[in-house]
């Protein structure tokens, strides 16, 4: 296995692009049912390439989580983000639709769950009212825990949801590539990085388990596809391509962590935490990142901290 002193951290940057995002809180009677609600509400939300949004859990709060962030009802909670690229012309409607579908189909339906807005912004979505129509005329407005909510009678009791849900500018596309001698070392480095990212409030990692093994490039030889495998960095194609290889010779696997967040400083903080947590991984050859030379986004997250401009 490689010694850690041989690790190379590429002098490059990840290229993040602007999004609009919603930030909301799910609570439930215990972690079991909280996790079910979160997993369902953030399912199929890995990549804006074909998903309606990119979503994930920021962190646990309240009892059993970050107790400096109390939940309205005093129960275990989890903060969730949903992001839609700002370059989409229908971004405002798309984000509202993603919120409506995911909360109504995956949170309302989950035993003991409730849902609260965390972004007090104007404009906002009157989302609570739309979800409350499930009550078929039996829904009603109320004040609970000092919040203006809709109450929906359901078979399990009541579903509580805030009336308004805000949205704000965010960022998508922060990323790190972990290049390993083998699959085990690349994945372990990415897992260590992921654990560090999850300790930074204000970010999500939207892919399955927070890691992707199929980093992509924009475009394809097929006209119906807007993205495709990044062949220059596929280990099994290095000899076949017959051009300057994109990977060091001893790299057999590349794992990627994508980081979306509320702003650039937060993603920068998460990136540096991820690098620091992964550098001692045996068999890790190189840490790099994907970018498009500024053609996709104008927010750069440098891997070398000293290169990062002051905010």
Per-residue model confidence as pLDDT tens digits over 98-133: 999 999 999 999 999 999 999 999 999 999 999 999
Would you state the pLDDT for residue 295? 75
Find, among 29, 102, 61, the residue nearest to 202 by Cα.
61
Q: Please give the average per-residue pLDDT across 142-165, as a whole number.
A: 98
CB 86 within 8 A of CB 18: yes
pLDDT at 237: 93
| Backbone torsions φ then ψ of 109, nearest 5 degrees | -80, -10
The pLDDT of 157-183, averaged and rounded, is: 98
pLDDT in tens, 172-183: 999 999 999 999
CB 27 within 8 A of CB 71: yes
Report residue 217: phi and psi, to 5°.
-115, 160
Query: For the CA atoms of the chain, what is the radius of gyration?
Result: 21
Predicted pLDDT at 6: 78
Q: 33-70, pLDDT tens digit by residue?
A: 999 999 999 999 999 999 999 999 999 999 999 999 99
Cβ–Cβ < 8 Å for 75, 120: no
Q: Do 274 and 196 form a contact (C-beta atoms < 8 A)? A: yes
- The bridge status of strand 165-166 relative to strand 157-162 is unpaired
- Convert the pLDDT of each residue in 188-206 to its tens digit: 999 999 999 999 999 999 9
* Structural domains for the chain: 4-14+172-307 (3.30.70.520), 19-168 (3.30.70.520)
Number of other residues whose CB lies within 10 A of the CB of residue 203: 26
Q: Nearest 5°: phi and psi at 251?
A: -95, 125
At 305, give phi and psi (nearest 5°).
-55, -35
Least confident of 3-7, 214-218, 235-239, 306-310: 3-7
d(CA 157, CA 130): 19
């Amino acid at each position: 296995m490689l010694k850690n002193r041989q690790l190379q951290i590429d002098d490059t940057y990840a290229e993040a692009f602007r999004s609009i995002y919603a930030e909301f809180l799910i609570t439930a009677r215990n972690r079991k049912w909280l996790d079910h609600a979160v997993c369902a509400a953030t399912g199929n939300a890995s990549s804006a390439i074909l998903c309606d949004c990119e979503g994930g859990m920021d962190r646990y709060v309240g009892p059993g989580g970050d107790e400096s962030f109390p939940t309205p009802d005093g129960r275990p909670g989890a903060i969730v983000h949903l992001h839609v690229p700002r370059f989409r012309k229908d971004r405002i409607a798309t984000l509202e639709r993603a919120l409506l579908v995911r909360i109504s189909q995956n949170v309302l339906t989950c035993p003991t769950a409730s849902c609260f807005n965390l972004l007090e912004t104007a404009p906002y979505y009157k989302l609570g009212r739309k979800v409350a129509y499930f009550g078929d005329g039996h829904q009603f407005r109320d004040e609970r825990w000092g919040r203006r909510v809709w109450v929906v009678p359901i078979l399990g009791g009541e579903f509580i949801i805030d009336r308004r849900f805000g949205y704000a500018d965010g960022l998508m596309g922060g990323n790190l590539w972990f290049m390993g001698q083998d699959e085990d070392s690349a994945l372990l480095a990415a897992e260590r990085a992921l654990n560090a990212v999850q300790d930074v409030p204000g970010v999500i990692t939207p892919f399955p388990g927070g890691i992707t093994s199929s980093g992509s490039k924009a475009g394809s030889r097929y006209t119906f596809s807007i993205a495709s495998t990044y062949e220059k960095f596929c280990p099994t194609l290095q000899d076949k391509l017959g051009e300057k290889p994109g990977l060091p010779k001893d790299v057999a696997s590349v794992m990627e962590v994508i980081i979306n967040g509320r702003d650039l400083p937060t993603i920068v903080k998460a990136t540096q935490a991820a690098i620091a947590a992964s550098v001692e991984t045996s068999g890790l050859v190189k840490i790099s990142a994907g970018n498009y030379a500024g053609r996709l986004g104008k927010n750069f997250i440098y891997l070398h901290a000293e290169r990062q401009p002051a905010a």
